[in-house]
Structures are given as C-alpha cells and as structure tokens.
Structure 1
Amino acid sequence: MQAGTPTPTTTPESFVPHPGWLPPWIPDWTVDVTVAIVVLAVTFYISRLVKAVLGRRIARRFRRPSVVRTVLRSVQAAVLVAGGLVTLTVLGIPIGDLAISLSVFSAVLGFVLAPIIGSVINGFFVLSERPYEIGDMVQIVDTDTYGFVEDITLRYTKIFTLDNTFLVVPNGAMRDRDVINYSAEDARTRLALDLLVTYESDIDRARAIAEEAARKVDNVIEGGPDIRVGGARYPAAPTCYIEAFADHGVNLRLRYWVTEPYKLLTARSNVQTNFWELMREEDVEIAYPHSHLFFDETSGEMQVSVRERGPESVEEGPVSDEELVVSDETTETQ
C-alpha cells in the first residue's frame, strides 16, 4: 500500500512565528509593535541629528534665517516620513494600499484643507519675495500693530509685539495687508511732526527752536552727510519747513531722522517736550482754534420786553422783581 503524499500547508506571509525566547502568554504582535516604537524613536533622534549637522552648512548657503529654518524643517520632516514608512512596513501594513486610501482621503479633505494649502502657497511667496525677515520691525497698518518678526513658516508669520504678546498671522492674510518694514535695509527712520504757531509768533525763531528741540534728543541724527533713499537725498539734520498758512496759524513741519525704529513714540514725545520748553522762553505761541465775535449796527436786532412779576410767581423762587422776556419774533438781520 502506497502512502499518500502529505499536503503542504501554506503559511501567510504576514505570519510571524512566536519567538522561542518569549513567554507563551505574550502575544505575537507585541514584537512588531515594540520594533515599530524603537524605529520611531530612532527616526526622531536621527532627524534632530541631521538638523544639527546640516544647520551651519545650510545657514552658510542661504544666509536668510527664514529660508534656513524652512529648509531644516523640510529635511527633518522628510526623515520622519521615511521612518514612518519603515514603521508601517514593520507592522505589516501594505504601503501600496495605504497610498490608494490616502489619495481618496486627500481628495475628500481637499476642500477642507484648502485654506491651509493656500497659506502654504503664500508662504512660498513670502519667502521668495522677502517683504520682511526674521528680526525686522514691522507695522501692520490696518491693525496699527508694531512688533518684531519672530518666525516665518510656510503657514504663518509670528510677530512679537511691543506689548509683549505674540501675534500669529497666516501668510495669506499677511500678503493681503499693508505691512511697513522699518528695518529692512536701513534702520534709520524719518519722522515728521506738524507744529501750528500763531501768526503773531516769530516764524523764523519757531523753526530754529523746532530743529534745536529735535537735535537735543539722544537717538535723533544731529547732522552729517545727506541720507540717500532710492535716487533721492535728504538732509540728515532736523529740518523745519513752512507747510501751510492755515486758518488758525502757520503750520510748520519738522522732519528728523532717528537711528533706530524701536522707540519712535518716545523720540516723538521727547521732541515735542523740548519744543514746549524752548518756545515758552521765546516769542513763539502755539495756535489753537478760537473765534472772536463782533457786534455792530449791521449785526441785527432782537426784540425784548420787561415785565413785573406778580404775587402768583413768588412760589417759583426768590428772584428779582423784574424778569427779562424775549419775544417770539426772530432776529432781523440787515
């Protein structure tokens, strides 16, 4: 009698035999999970190591803090993604099927993630156009916010305000707003101050006092070579001009340069304080809106009459025996 050929048994590819060194009460999948956790931990430390090693080289290559941080974050993210794929392989998850599922899932979430994707795209434009850089002092015009650029990512710009708070603005919103950069190329900033003095004041002396008031402030440029802005040159020393002959006085405009844009309000206040103290000793007076009324024979007439009060009006209070009554007739103007 011929013995039959034994039927071979097939073992699934994903089946991992139970290691002999593990106790039988430990499940088989714990090995894969442990290996996956180790892979993730090693990947995390490798990503930080790569970032530290390539940091100086990339900084010497690009020389822009915002671009350097973006490149290093991209490299670190690439290492983490690679470690994640290895982790999926260790767990026995088919990457091909996962890619198809992610494609369908991404198509569904495309509408939800559209604002984030738009911010990332705008982030590339911000990095390429370079309207501001990390460390620059900027002002958001529509919100009247001053601060320093703390960080620039592909999604948002972080501003450390002068009020000791953080302002996180999406890059799409930053591109739609008017942003003033005070320290992009030259930290020197020109300020203007309007001063209204009376017509009776000594105008030449008022202009000299305004210029002297600005020169006495520490961070104001007293003089020197003209400052070039584009193709134009402007005096470096404080200069006061007659801006207009206004209704209530002569409007003087003082222009001066400050060495740093970090204390603009303080510099402006110090200039005005010095001008106030100096003009009190001179023949200069600040003008303010006021009116003078003149009455003559052409001003018109008002009909009035005088009557005596009766006993019945005593209860209204202790007033004089006569009261002035203005008639209902309107004033006649000649």
Structure 2
Amino acid sequence: MNPEDSALFGQEMKTIQKIIDVVTEFVINYSFQIVGALIILLIGLKLSGWLSRLVLRLCDKRNIDVTLSRFFASSTKILVMMFVIIIAIAKFGISIAPFIAALGAVAFGSSLAIQGPLSNYGSGLTLILTRPFVVGNTITVQDVSGVVEEIRLAATVLTTEDGEELTIPNKLIVGEILRNSFENKIIETSVGISYEDDPEQAIEVLQQVLGQFPEICTDPAPQVGIEAFADSSINIGMRYWVPTKQYFNILYKVNLAIHKALAEADITIPFPQQDIHIKKDAQETAT
C-alpha cells in the first residue's frame, strides 16, 4: 500500500471511529430515555388498538352506521398515537415546538403538490359526515356501479358481482350525479308476443314467473305491462328489483323461465318479418 492510500485509509478509520464514539456516547447517555420511549410507544400502540376496538363495540351497541363507526375508531387510534409520540419525544427532553413549526412550513410549501390527495381526504370526510350512501348500498357514479364495501378517507371501495374491487377517489364522487339503489338493482327488460295472442294472458304468465323467484323483491313489487306496439310484436315490459351481487345470475334464470312459460302457454314470441306486396304495372296487365 502506497503512502497516499495508507493516509486515506487512516483518515477513513478515524471518521468511522468518531461515528462509533458518538453513537456509543448517545446510547450511554440516553439509554434509559430510549428504553422508556420504546416502552411508551409499545404501550401506546396496544392502548390505541384497544380503544379503537372499544369505540367500535360502543358504536355497534348504539346501532351507529358502520361507516361512522370505522371513522370514529380510526380517528381515536390516530389521536392516541399522536399523543404517545409527543410523550415519547419529550422523554429525550426535546421541545416539539420547532417540529410543529417545521411541519407547518413543509405543509405550506408542499400544499400544491399534495392538492389531489388532500381533496380526496376532504371529500371523504364530507361523504362520511353527510352519508349519501353507506356500506352495503349499490351506487352508480362516473359510469361505474357496484356495492359499497368500504368508505375510506381517500377513496371508496366497491365490489361487483364478478368479485372485482373498484377503488374510486372520493373527489370523483362528491359533486357528481350519484345514483343510490341501496342493496338492490333494477332489471328492466321486455319480451315480444304475437298480435294474435292475448296480452293480458301473457302479463299474467310473466307475473307468475317472477313470483317463482324468492330473490326478486316484493317491495317494491315487480311491474309488468304493455311497453310498446312494435312492427311485429306487442312488447311486454318488466321491471323488478334483485340483489346487486346476483343481478346477472337472476336475469339469465328469469329469461329462461319466461321462454319456457310462454311456450307452455302457447304464446308466440315472433321474429321480425315484413309482408311484401308486388303490384304489376297497368300496361303490363293490359297486354
């Protein structure tokens, strides 16, 4: 090793030794404070979790909405942990006032950068307090539909019949047209019958079919009636409510049952057809 490398190596070793000395001195001088802070943090973590669960149980006993219950529980946990962290910092004899001032300056400087997330949190708080929908409701917003699984401060989570999970930022919900059909979703469909058939009989058959499915809601009751007089058929319209997560499953079963019931009742489902009348020219007829 040449003299230059040897000198550089010696300088690096001195730097490392200084760092070790500083760390050792800090541990020796503040060992009790470190242990005390860790104990306080562990106790605070346990306490915040216990209080959070306690708030959930109290809200459940008083039949408070699950969305508000979760909000109160999470807020309680965050507040407790904030106080615990302040107490832990105080164990080192450090004043938290400079930290608060620094956080304020950072928040002010980065307000534009975090404008999107902050608007989501503000919108989430609005949804939780105003409660335009709750967990278990079926909502449609921004051309997206699903059952509300969870309402967070930043986003709302929906689930679909296919088991998909949709996460919608809350700022895209507040201020938009929101459709809430609660736990059910409406099926609107129609079937055409021949003009030679009795529409009253067809309506009765369709009502009997819908009554065979216990999943279909009776309040409001299904609606069946003549929807339109088409070119080749009388269209019988149907409107009925089903659980959102069984929407397509029930729709397919009902359609099959309708086809069978109409066939058994000798009611024809016509296909589009046109009658063409050919008229010969008068001169051709004369010759």
Shared fold, TM over 0.5: yes
* Alignment pair present for 1:208 and 2:192: no
Corresponding letter in the other structure for 1:286: I
Contact 1:119 1:154 in 2 (8 A): yes
* Residue aligning to 2:111: 110
Per the alignment, residue 53 of structure 1 pairs with 54
Q: Per the alignment, in what secondary structure is the counterpart of residue 246 of structure 2?
A: helix
Letter in 1 for 2:92: L
Q: How far off is 1:69 after superposition?
A: 1.2
**Pairing 1:243–2:234 present:** no
What is the distance in 1 between the residues matched to 2:65 and 2:271? 51
Task: Give me the TM-score of the superposition, normalised by structure 2.
Answer: 0.77
1:291 aligns with 2:287: no
State the SS of the aligned residue for 1:158: strand
Q: Secondary structure at the match of 2:35?
A: helix
Deviation by residue 1:200-251 (Cα, 9 ceiling, x = unmatched): 33333222222222222233367xxxx5xxxxxx6x3x55311221223211
User: 1 CA distance for matches of 2:31 and 2:193?
Assistant: 86
Greater relative contact order: 1 or 2 (C-alpha under 8 angstroms, separation 6 or more)?
A: 2
Aligned match of 1:220: 216
SS at match of 1:175: coil
- Would the alpha carbon gap of residues 24 and 115 (structure 1) be closer, same or farther in structure 2, given more than 3 Å must change? closer
Q: Deviations over 1:70-103 (max 9, x none)?
A: 1111111111111111222223332122222111
Offset of residue 293 of structure 1: 3.7
SS at match of 1:132: coil
Q: What's the counterpart of residue 261 of structure 2?
A: 278
SS in 2 for 1:110: coil
Distance 1:261 1:24, change over 3 A: closer
**Segment drifting more, 25-34 vs 268-277:** 25-34
Higher deviation after alignment, 27-36 or 113-122: 27-36
2:194–2:268: 8 Å Cα contact kept in structure 1? yes
Supply the AA of the counterpart residue of 2:232.
H
Structure 2 counterpart of 1:14 = none
Answer whether contact 1:197 1:287 (CA < 8 A) is retained: yes
Determine if contact 2:55/2:69 at 8 Å carries over to the other structure: no
Match of 1:192 in 2: 188
Q: How many residues align?
A: 260
1-side partners of 2:251 and 2:163: how far apart? Answer: 21
